[in-house]
Amino acid sequence: MSAEIVLEKVASLPSLSDNVKKILNICDDPNSSFSDLVEAIKTDPLITINILKAANAKEYGFKEDITDIAQAVVMFGMISIKGFVISNFIQSLEETDLSPYNLDANSFIHIVRKQNAFVANWYHQDKKILNTLFMLSHLMEIGKIILSNVVIETSSQKLFADHIKETKTLQEMTKMEKEIFDLSHEEVAAILMKKWGFSPKIYNPLQYISTPYQSPKQYRRETLILHVTKLIINAHNFDRKQNLTAAIAIVKKHRLRPESFVTAYKQLQKSA
């Protein structure tokens, strides 16, 4: 199998829908209002349902039940909604069959929410970078949906299953994907974001999550934060103790809000 098959798959995916574009434009427009965003979201029942489900998920720790989409938008913020909308759109394009990765759709969504909530708790005091991180943390795992579909469509389940069985670390996961596809699932997510016209500050950090020290310096902090998040919250429960040690070392070395990191980690343990 080669990268060409994956790239053809990405190229075959449709452009963002008109309503998704409208929602994203509203989020990016400093002159738009919450009511503009709420009205745009309400026209898409699936997006509305998924945002409300997320708002009531225990990972985010909101203390009251949220039944109104306007309330959810206020709680998450306009920029943060972008991540939900993009993630939802991608999942609507392809069947979320992650069986090649030994995952089901519910487990996948649960992991993404945990990663997203952890980033939000960790960097809640830095609004400038949080807006970007909140969106990126929604997209870290999304490339697995595309790679899973490629595996299924090429009847390569047995080959992939044999490799998954031998994969014990995140580094081995990246190596395995590159051996089979010439691309990691994070690189696939970056290629998709570039295809849809997102800026380098979105697709560059995604591309280098597994290799943060290879990322351009202007995106290094975001990439390291996402890398740390994936070390301690990943879909495959790789060596948690070893990964936590590595994560703490990175946080301390690069001064990535260590006190806030500890608080966010304690909240993660509490929600578990």
DSSP code at position 142: T
Alpha carbon distance 43, 53 (integer Å): 17
Task: State the CATH number of the domain containing residue 266.
Answer: 1.10.3210.10
Q: CB–CB of 192/143 below 8 Å?
A: yes
Residue 265 has what pLDDT?
94
Q: For the segment 56-104, what is each residue's pLDDT rounded down to a tens digit? A: 887 777 777 888 899 988 888 777 788 888 888 887 876 778 999 988 8
What's the average model confidence in pLDDT over 27-41? Answer: 88
Alpha carbon distance 245, 31 (integer Å): 44
Please, what is the average pLDDT of the chain? Answer: 89
User: Sorting pLDDT into bands at 50, 70 and 90, what band is 272?
Assistant: low
Residue 1 has what pLDDT?
66
Q: CB–CB of 115/140 below 8 Å?
A: yes
Q: What is the pTM of this model?
A: 0.90
DSSP code at position 215: S
- Give me the domain span that covers residue 7: 3-95+103-271
Tokens of 125: 């005091």
Q: CB–CB of 81/23 below 8 Å?
A: yes
Q: pLDDT higher for 57 or 40? A: 40
In degrees, to the nearest 5, what angle opens at C-alpha 126 toward C-alphas 123 and 132? 75
What total number of domains does the chain contain? 1
Residue 65 has what pLDDT?
84
Amino acid identity at 107: S
Residue 225 has what pLDDT?
97
> pLDDT exceeding 90 applies to what percent of the chain?
49
What's the average model confidence in pLDDT over 233-242? Answer: 82
User: Sorting pLDDT into bands at 50, 70 and 90, what band is 41?
Assistant: very high
Cα atoms in the 13 Å half-sphere on the side-chain side of 5 = 15
Choice among 11-25, 93-107, 223-237 with the minimum mean pLDDT: 93-107
CA dihedral 60, 63, 66, 70 (to 10 degrees): -80
Q: For the segment 133-181, what is each residue's pLDDT rounded down to a tens digit? A: 988 999 999 999 999 999 999 999 988 988 888 888 888 999 999 999 9
Residue 91 has what pLDDT?
77
Residue 253 has what pLDDT?
97
Comparing CA positions, the residue from 35, 116, 124, 102 lying closest to residue 74 is: 35
User: Sorting pLDDT into bands at 50, 70 and 90, what band is 115?
Assistant: very high
